Amino acid sequence: MSLFLLNDIVVFLFIEIILFVLMFISEFSVLRVIKHWDFNASTTFQYSLEKRNYLINTIIYFTVSVKLVIFVFFVKSLDELSPLVPGAMCATGVVGANSYGNILLLFKIFILFLLGIWIIINKLDLDSKVFPYINEKYYLFSFIFVLICIEMVLEILYFLNIPLSVPVFCCSTVFKLDNLPFELNTLGLILIYYALFIVITLSSYYKNNLISLFANMLFLFTSYYSVTYFFGTYIYEVPNHQCPYCMLQKEYHYIGYFVWFSLFLGVFFGISPYVIESIISKKYHLLHKYCIFFTTFFVLLCTYFVLSYYLRNGVLL
């Protein structure tokens, strides 16, 4: 049996191909705009470029919206593939079924991050009415398009190489407590987790882009391990169930989507001010309040499961 015979995979790849074609067409227009754009020119050609600029924006906004939706669909499809892959009990086994899975997942998250940056820069460009950042935003788009080309290749290689007859390792084997980085114990990990949350809150409140950048990068890394090896066990209410994917399942009310998306949004809004300033040489502090909101929501949500379990059982796992 081939995975390409499954409806979910066929629909996912079909949508991805449509989006790729739209972005491929947009890239030709983008290169033309970069080469010939002159806002001070009062020519018919410049007017056509301005109209083309709005068309490109519409296509990219549509692409970003669909990309976000099908990312969720992609993650959900991985979980639904687990019964077909020997040894897989959740998306962990499916993602790790070959060497392309984890790279593809990280690639998708990174592309969504860059598309988010593009949307913000594009909004600033359009709001100014004189398009001061048109070159910057389209150079960024061209870079994103190259990444999307690589993503398409990775997707095909990944789905072609998922074994349907060879057993794979799943979460009970992949995620063990001795896999914590830098030989940390759980207590040390959680202390760093809450310390970084305080640093992020203060750096965002005082609008320090550089500290916010590094703190959020470390927080993303720390939070992955904290959720997988500590907070996740309180979601499952099983001390040896350590998995970042099982919480996305229906049995746990899809709570994992709220956990991971609030983390990614908080980190995105915490990192973006520095990245945007680096690209367009303009400070943009508005995003810091969103960083505080989503990061606080994420931390409170994770903490809730620990407190809830303790209040109901009088003991920690």
Residue 177: per-residue pLDDT: 57
Kindly state the tokens that stand for 57.
């924006």
Q: What are the C-alpha distances in Å from 219 to residues 198, 222, 290?
A: 11, 5, 16
Report the half-sphere exposure of 79 (CA within 13 A, side-chain side): 17
Instruction: Give the DSSP per-residue string, the chain.
Output: --GGGSHHHHHHHHHHHHHHHHHHHHHHHHHHHHHH--TT--SHHHHHHHHHHHHHHHHHHHHHHHHHHHHHHHHHHHHHHGGGSTT-SSHHHHHTTSTTHHHHHHHHHHHHHHHHHHHHHHHHHHHTSS-TTHHHHHHHHHHHHHHHHHHHHHHHHHHHT--SSS----HHHH--GGG-GGG--HHHHHHHHHHHHHHHHHHHHTT-HHHHHHHHHHHHHHHHHHIIIIIHHHHHT-TT---SSGGGSGGGTTHHHHHHHHHHHHHHHHHHHHHHHHHHS---GGGHHHHHHHHHHHHHHHHHHHHHHHHHHSS--
What pLDDT, on the 0 to 100 scale, is given for residue 270?
96
pLDDT at 182: 75
Query: Which pLDDT score, from 0 to 100, does residue 261 have?
Result: 95
Cα separation values, 157 from 2, 107, 150, Å: 13, 14, 11
The domain spans of the chain are 3-160, 175-313
Q: How far apart are CA 203 and CA 130, in angstroms?
A: 32
Predicted confidence at residue 2, as pLDDT, reads: 57
Are 135 and 98 contacting, i.e. CB atoms less than 8 angstroms apart?
no
What pLDDT, on the 0 to 100 scale, is given for residue 130? 82
Residue 154 confidence (pLDDT): 93
What is the structure's pLDDT at 317?
82
Query: What per-residue confidence (pLDDT) applies to 34?
Result: 85
Single pTM value for the model: 0.92
Q: Which tokens belong to 16?
A: 């991805």
| Tokens representing residue 159 in the block | 């789905």
Residue segments in the chain with a per-residue pLDDT below the cut of 50? none
Q: What is the pLDDT of residue 107?
A: 93
107 vs 249: CA distance, rounded Å = 23
Would you mind telling me the total number of residues written for the chain in this entry?
Answer: 317
pLDDT of residue 267: 97
CB-CB contact of 107 with 167 (8 Å): no
Q: What's the pLDDT at 239?
A: 87
Residue 227 pLDDT: 95
